[in-house]
Structure 1
Amino acid sequence: MASLHTEPLITLENIHLTRHGKRLLDDVSLLVMPRQIVTLIGPNGAGKTTLVRVVLGLLQPDGGRVQRAGDLRVGYVPQRFVVPANLPMDVDGFLLLSGAGDARQRQQVLVDNGAGDLVRSPLRALSGGEMQRVLLARAMLRQPDLLVLDEPAQGLDVQGQEAFYALIARLRDTTGCGVLLVSHDLHLVMAATDEVICLERHVCCVGRPEDVGVHPEYRRLFGRDLAGLAVYRHHHDHHHDLHGNIVPDKGPEAAAGGQRDE
């Protein structure tokens, strides 16, 4: 079911948060609209996960304003999920614990996330990429208006990350949800991202990925810029090699302007 919201899903204005005498967030503002993908990037300790917890309502800021759309449904994919080695549960049982959806809906959401054949697989036997797709399926069972993902592709190789981010973009397109995504590599999320917020406890720079990628603050934090990297969006006429480099397609599909799933 597509999201019915047209107003901002989440608005944060001038957020301040201090814990144990340390300023974690300093005058941070953020806005996510329906059908928009906003990506938070920044070095370790920049406050990205802290900001996500404020968005989720798990942390209350010391100052500033947090406003959520009425009846906002949020789906969340954590940074990591450790399955106990002795947990006798399959994927369908794990999805059942979410309390959302019937058996048909659980199967369909797995299919939509490219994990339809995993429904009876033991949870502890899943690979990293399979587990991330199952976690994403569990979040999508809630039919969220806002999907929040904290480093969801951590531990995946370059190709796996690109495929996962392409999946997120497709889910946004088909459901109309907004997406707040935390990532450590702007290059890998450029295809899916509408806006980037570069964070170092405060907002260093904000804008389109191609603009942030050449911003002096981005170069200061990451020691490089993306000026020489192609920016690509949605309809692809290329694939990526093992190093994440763009390689143009030369087959009939590219000539016809078709889309290549990554």
Structure 2
Amino acid sequence: MVFDRIPPDWPYRDRARRIASPPHDWCVVDAGEGPPLLLLHGAGGSGHSFRKLIPLLTPHYRVIVPDLPGQGFTRSGARGRYGIDPMAEDIVALCRKLDLSPLAVIGHSAGAALALRLSDFLPLKGVIGINAALGAFEGAAGVLFPLLARVLAVTPFIPHVVARLWGHAATVNRLLDSTGSRLDPEGQAQYLTLVRDAAHVDGTLGMMAQWRVDELMAQPRPVATPTLLIASTGDMAVPARVSRDAARHLKVATYAELPDFGHLVHEEAPEAVAELILPWLDALPRG
């Protein structure tokens, strides 16, 4: 069953499934055959951000791509569960509901931090982070931005106001440009659809307000899950040095860098990203 809210031309609409796994009503794309991979998008996005990477993976793997709680077309049943630990627990419950044991998790931005947290809950063979948001904001932003997000997340009507004020093509395109990425008109239109959705804006603000990546990276990691961190030098949202530094602190990590592209490199240059991902996945142990 497909959610009525999904536009007719939305990427992989025909492969979207409605999965009731409390407390959320999930929208999950399920495509391909082979060892399963779980793909997690970043804050403010949806599973659609993998639309160009999915066809490069599905000849070899089955890909499971959920919209995170409250974002995209997943209906949230608990706004207090947008933090990294509750979200990881709810994704584990979703995997059990699907009888799914992923070989690896591929996460973009905040989805990469979530993938690392899942390695503490699931017997993963590997984790891949694409422009992984594994560092706290620096300077005054490190104090003011989380505080602002918390205030906005609990203020009535703010998501509707944001959706109305920011839901214009020019505004969304400026936001995308600020990440260092240049998307085609189709990709720009898809993000415009998300920004115009007050429920999606509410879920994004809630995630930003409850997210604490600094606590994740401060935890000892007893399980040395092999990790591939891919960064792009043109990323203006999460500088490449964040992944470079994180790779030095993880037990078993490989760092790879792509020149020029921005934060949404998997949408700009999916072939280049796949050329790094596929050989690395092939080398993971099976069973």
**Higher percent of residues as helix:** 2
**Higher percent of residues as strand:** 1
**TM (normalized to structure 1)?**
0.30
Structure with more relative contact order (C-alpha pairs < 8 Å, separation 6 or more) = 1
Q: Over alpha carbons, which structure has the higher Rg?
A: 1
**TM (normalized to structure 2)?**
0.28
